[in-house]
Amino acid sequence: MHVQDVTEGALRTAIVTGGATRVGRALCMRLARRGHPVVVHYRTSTAEAESLVAEIRSSGGQALAVAADLVNEAACRTVIEAAVAWRGAPGILVNNASIFTRQTLAETTEASLVAEFWPNFFAPVLLSRSFAAQASGGGVIINLLDRRVKANDTRFFAYTLAKKALADFTELAAVALAPAIKVFGIAPGPILPPPGQDMAYLKEKGGKRLLEDALDPDAIADAMDALLGLRGSTGQTLFIDAGQHLLGNGV
């Protein structure tokens, strides 16, 4: 399903949080190739965001970089308002920005809970609310989750808890925003190694899998494409983890 601008017949703007690097970059590139103007949100990756915008523009697409630290409601509004000011009512919101901290329950503090919950849960909720208020022609929201929403991985306690909350929000928002806006989730397994590590690290530490399918950022972009083209569905989550969520914690 291409999300159309009902007034001009053009493809509507897509917003990708955390869009400058890693999986977010692949999602921005895919949306640009689909013909959507793309808002590339970033926090500190200024050079990467500017490079991506230049690459999209050089290929004939439209892109805008927007900086915001998603730690309060005002910052979330800034991202949506920038998109509206640039190209009018947006049609797609991809809540991709995230942080990921290894921390057990015993190590969890008030400050660490807040730090994990803002980008991983609070910001997607508030961004979705602002997006829905502006998306006059309808639209699609896609939340990036984690295969851990089907597991109980206590090594990343606050992160896992926030993603589980976002998974529940995905279903609840699908009800609250129907029929105008569809809401979906994508739950990846291990896609890229942590910064400073190589793919050998990911292969060793990534856990057991049922399939040998390659997992990479383009696999997540493929899932996004599938959801954008899906008819008759909302509130669904696609697990792109080679079956890992079926194995429980799979660690």
CA dihedral 112, 113, 115, 121 (to 10 degrees): 160
Distances (CA, A) of 184 to 143, 233, 237: 6, 9, 6
Q: For residues 85-104, give the mean pLDDT.
A: 96
> What is the per-residue pLDDT across 178-229, written as a single tens digit (0 to 9) for each?
999 999 999 999 998 777 676 766 665 678 889 998 899 999 999 999 999 9
More confident residue, 56 or 248: 56
- Burial letters 240-250, b for 16+ CB under 10 A, else e: bbbebbebebb
Distance in Å from the first CA to the final CA of the chain: 36
Best CA proximity match to 35, nearest among 92, 94, 89, 95: 92
Residue 169: exposure state from Cβ atoms within 10 A (0-12, 13-18, ≥19): buried
Which pLDDT belongs to residue 165? 98
Supply φ then ψ for residue 212, to 5 degrees: -95, 5
pLDDT tops 60 at residue 5: no
Structure tokens at 120: 């991983």
Which pLDDT belongs to residue 146? 97
Which segments within the chain are labelled E, that is strand?
A: 14-16, 38-42, 63-67, 92-95, 139-144, 181-188, 237-240
Residues paired with 239 in a beta bridge: 187
| Separate counts of helices (H) and strands (E) for the chain | 8, 7
Which pLDDT belongs to residue 83? 98
- Among 89-93, 196-200, 244-248, name the one with the lowest average pLDDT: 196-200
pLDDT tops 50 at residue 9: no
pLDDT band with cut points at 50, 70 and 90 for residue 10 = low
pLDDT band with cut points at 50, 70 and 90 for residue 106 = very high
Residues paired with 103 in a beta bridge: 156
pLDDT tops 50 at residue 7: no
pLDDT band with cut points at 50, 70 and 90 for residue 4 = very low
Question: Can the peptide bond before residue 179 be classed as cis, meaning omega within 30 degrees of 0?
Answer: yes
Secondary structure (3-state) at 16: strand
User: CB-based contacts of 179: which residues, under 8 Å, 6+ apart?
Assistant: none
Which pLDDT belongs to residue 251? 56
